[in-house]
Structure 1
Amino acid sequence: MIRELICISCPMGCHLKVDVENKTVEGNTCKRGEIYGLNEVTNPVRVITSTVKVNNGELPVIPVKTTGPIGKGLNMECMEVLSKVNIEAPVKMGDIIISDVLGTGVDVVASRDIKAI
């Protein structure tokens, strides 16, 4: 089975053809494309970015992101967990909001500072 993808590892946007059975990639201009193509068909992962609610802060929500990629199949479950989080201001960029989200070994951290009011 051949899967066609557009590589997102660099600005080139190479059109990849990944042979799933033979684990080969064509169309990449760099090694990153080969790695991306194989990973995308065997174990796709994503970095999650979202917001969580803040109590007593200068803003009602704060942007957050995972410190690394998590399995694509966990995206919606992760978003559901984040939708239930409500933190107290002040918050500093880099503060851990959720440690080891969904048992992935990846933390969710604040992406900016929020002052208390």
Structure 2
Amino acid sequence: MEEKKLICINCPLGCRLTVTMDGETILGVSGNTCMRGDSYARRELTNPTRIVTSTVKVSRGREKMVSVKTREDIPKKKVLECVRALKDVTAKAPVRIGDVIVENILGTGVDIVATKNVEAAE
């Protein structure tokens, strides 16, 4: 048996979690003050995911960049590849919060959406 230590990132409490494992099998989670901690630990050790935030260029806009994020978590192992893919993306103004900037990034089934409005240049 092995113990792994994590800090939960689901809320500001930052519970210190201890996960007891037998090989790849999770036997138990302790240290969490709510069920979200248990769920986070199990997900983090079996299939870690993250929300990606970044910026992309804007053409013909009052601003040159717009902030974006993944609509949902993507596999942690694809985060760097996702950020690299966004480097070559340009959105056309006007851009509205929630607009899909890239559909199905890297075949994950998750869209990249705008998190800011950018008006068209006059």
TM-score (norm 1): 0.95
Letter of the 1:3 partner, please give it: K
Deviates more, 1:19-28 or 1:46-55: 19-28
1:10-21 superposed matches below 5 A? 10-21=11-22
| Aligned residues between the structures | 117
Query: Gaps (5+ residues) in structure 2?
Result: none
User: 1:65: how far off?
Assistant: 0.5
Q: Does 1:103 align with 2:98?
A: no
- Residue of 69, 73, 81 corresponding to 2:73: 69
Q: Could you tell me how far apart the structure 2 residues matched to 1:87 and 1:33 are? A: 37
Runs of 4+ that moved beyond 4 A: none
Q: Could you tell me how far apart the structure 2 residues matched to 1:86 and 1:67 are? A: 18
Give 2:51's aligned residue: 47
Letter of the 2:106 partner, please give it: L
Query: Gaps (5+ residues) in structure 1?
Result: none
Give aligned-pair identity as a percent.
46
Q: Could you tell me how far apart the structure 2 residues matched to 1:114 and 1:101 are? A: 22
Q: CA RMSD in A?
A: 1.0
User: 1:8: how far off?
Assistant: 1.0
Q: Could you tell me how far apart the structure 2 residues matched to 1:42 and 1:52 are? A: 31
Give 1:112's aligned residue: 116
Is contact 1:78–1:102 with CA below 8 Å preserved after alignment?
Answer: yes
Q: Does 1:90 align with 2:94?
A: yes
Is contact 1:47–1:69 with CA below 8 Å preserved after alignment?
Answer: yes
Q: Could you tell me how far apart the structure 2 residues matched to 1:19 and 1:71 are? A: 23
User: 1:62: how far off?
Assistant: 0.1
User: 1:20: how far off?
Assistant: 3.2
> For each residue in 1:77-106, what CA deviation from the matched residue of structure 2 results, as whole angstroms up to 9, or x when unmatched?
000110110121111111100011111111
